[in-house]
Chains A and B, each alone.
Chain A
Amino acid sequence: MKILCCISHVPDTTARIQFTADGKALDRTGITFIINPYDDFALARAAELKEKNPNGVKVTVLAVGKNGAQSTDSVDANLRKALALGLDEAVRIDAEPVDAFFVAHQIAAYAKDKGFDLILFGKESIDYNGAQVPGMVAALLNLPFVSYATSIEIQDGQAHLTREITGGKERLSCALPLVLSAQKGLAEWRIPNVRGIMQAKTKPFQVVPPVSVAPRVRTLRHEPPPPKGTFKKIDPENIQELVQELANKGLI
């Protein structure tokens, strides 16, 4: 079984977010870039499937991006981290991920003739929470797509899955190949061990040029969120005041 696991490169959750003077791009200075946390669920599940059947499963990790100027902004380093979970090979498509349409086309172009049985993503990336790329890749390759997947088991080329839906969950089955986006629960996050980290250094690592695709959506600018003023302090001895405030705003 061949698995493709796609990861994105995002600012650490706790990073202080600032933009360039024109507001168009993130100011990357001093920011540590991490593997998108939802992609970690996908990587962990791929690692589990690999562990169960080391000779029968091959996992390729892919990212679309260019390495930044600082060592904390290296797509390659994050791909190596993913490999350290026991995965087989890494591919970096050497282009700035301009918009979801562009990124999806890069991934689909890479994947289309390689016979992957399973293409895994996180459910969304934590920078823009767009959740666009996995579905677009499924559409471009005309493959079934399970979003918000919380479990997948594979038996004789047939996948049995669970996905989150509004107010509950749905169980599904589907013959491979398919595209999946991971929700929390798909697998427990893993931390690479020293052996994995050492082995990752010598695993196959390919840098692929992008295909030519015109992006469709551009960023005009970023701005800070509307400022929150100081909050109104309510005396615990005078809860009635809070009820009145909420009532005045029509909230209760």
Chain B
Amino acid sequence: MSAVAVWVEISEGRLKKPTLEVLTAARQWADSENLPVVAIALGADFPPNLTASLGEYGADRVIRLKGPQLEPLVNSAYARALAQLMRERQFSYLLLPQTYDGRAIAPFVAVWADGALLSGITQPPQREGSTLRARRIAYSNKAIEWIATDHLPVIATLKSNSIVPAKNPRVPTEEELAYTPLPEDLRLKSVGIEKVATDKVPLTEAEIVVSAGRGLKGPENWGMIEELAKALGAATACSKPVADVGWRPHHEHVGQTGIQISPNLYIAIGISGAIQHLAGVASSKNIVVINNDPEAPFFKVADYGIVGDAFQVVPQLTEAIRKYKEQHAH
């Protein structure tokens, strides 16, 4: 059965946004080629409503590969299972989220399923005869690249925040199989997982990100950034110089050598917009720049710009957003 297969990433018992995006893209892709969407989940245990949730976002069939040794995740074990399924069932396509683990699993599957890998695509690929075309971002957001392959199967990873998750409900068929990883996939042993203690949304999944830089003058001034982020339900981020001097933790650093993000709204406060910073954030859908220097290069990629003193503008903006939200709470 040819199909668009999807690797379903489950984190802390739920489907994360990148997986919903991948399901949505897979549905569009499958419809354009008259194929079913097969969602494949691997794990030791599954959330009770998994099949229903996957059906809501367009899965026609759900395959659960279950085994006590599938948690914590080992990239090669997951890849071997996915490649085996692809071969046995003759799936033409596999789509994965371009997350930490999705990116590690995809190249393995490409080799073991003898496929072509399209990495970091921003929309479902399009077929023209024997050629499959896809779009991705290149050279630090300075170009769009169109790539193509004539090979089958195709394994692809979808860049996060490239498409908006859309429901397309149906009642999927389901299947559960036992899976035991090969000994060679258990060479890598997890000793422990430490989550960064935060009640905030992970940066890579956040729809809104409030980010600040050297213009804030010191770590003691981040309170107003946190306040604004709280008012917006946003994640906080920072520029590289700020992380380098230790004003903010490194896991908040966005930019070329930090985390690359493309939220719906990015608010840059006191960040000049060095090219290395823009490389990590320029694909954000909407950019607000607050800077007291009207010549700051960041304004060149801004959608909205405020030339003004952050210490005055930010608290006012927080207050205005709170008011707006109170008025529109219902």
Interface residues of A (CB under 8 A from B): 11, 13-14, 17, 19, 26, 37-38, 100-101, 104, 126-136, 138-140, 142, 144-148, 160, 164-175, 178, 184-185, 216-226, 228, 231-236, 239-240, 242-243, 245-247, 249, 251-252
Interface residues of B in 219-260 (CB under 8 A from A): 232, 250-251, 253, 256-258, 260
Contact A166 B76 (CB under 8 A): no
Pairwise interchain contact B148-A174, C-beta atoms closer than 8 A: no
> In the complex, what distance in Å separates the CA atom of A233 from the CA atom of B306?
6
Mark B residues whose CB is within 8 Å of A.
11, 16, 72, 75-76, 79, 99-101, 103-108, 110-112, 115-120, 133, 136-149, 151, 184, 187-196, 198, 202, 204-205, 208, 232, 250-251, 253, 256-258, 260, 264-265, 275-276, 279, 282, 286, 288-289, 299-309, 312-313, 316-317, 320-321, 324-325, 328
Are A242's CB and B149's CB within 8 A?
no
Q: A14-B275, A37-B256 are in contact. Are A224 and B117 (CB under 8 A)?
A: no
A175 CA to B188 CA, complexed, in Å: 8
Chain B residues within 8 Å of A184, by CB: 250, 253, 257-258
Establish whether residues A243 and B143, one from each chain, have CB atoms under 8 Å apart when the complex forms. no
Q: Which interface residue of B119, B264, B279, B309 has the most chain A CB atoms within 10 A?
A: B119
* Inter-chain contact total with CB atoms closer than 8 Å: 245
Which residues on A sit within 8 Å (CB–CB) of B151?
216-217
CA distance A118 to B151 in the complex (A): 32
Q: A134 — which chain B residues lie within 8 A by C-beta?
A: 107
For A242, what are the chain B residues with a Cβ–Cβ distance below 8 Å? Answer: 288, 304, 306, 317, 320
Given contacts A232-B305, A251-B264, A252-B324, could you give 6 more A-B pairs where the C-beta distance is less than 8 Å?
A17-B142, A19-B143, A132-B110, A173-B189, A222-B138, A249-B286
Q: How far is the CA of A236 from the CA of B309 in the complex (A)?
A: 8
**For residue A14, which residue of chain B has the nearest CB?**
B275
Q: Name 29 interchain pairs, CB-CB below 8 A, sorted by A.
A: A26-B139, A100-B107, A128-B119, A128-B136, A132-B117, A136-B110, A147-B100, A166-B11, A166-B205, A167-B202, A168-B193, A168-B194, A169-B194, A174-B187, A216-B115, A216-B117, A217-B147, A217-B149, A217-B151, A219-B145, A223-B146, A228-B303, A231-B289, A231-B299, A233-B304, A233-B305, A236-B309, A236-B316, A251-B264
In the docked arrangement, what's the CA distance between A216 and B286, Å?
35
Q: Which residues of the partner chain B approach A101 to less than 8 Å between Cβ atoms?
A: 110, 116-117
A244: nearest residue on chain B (CB-CB)? B324
Contact partners of B264 in chain A: CB under 8 A: 251
Q: Interface SS of chain A: helix, strand, loop or mixed? A: mixed
One of A17, A19, A135, A225 near B104 (C-beta < 8 A): A135
- Given A216-B149, A234-B304, is A168 in contact with B195 using a C-beta cutoff of 8 Å? yes
Contact assessment for A172 and B190 in the assembled complex, using a CB-CB cutoff below 8 Å: yes
- In the assembled complex, how far is the CB of residue A46 from the closest CB belonging to chain B, in whole angstroms? 18
Closest to A160 in B: B191
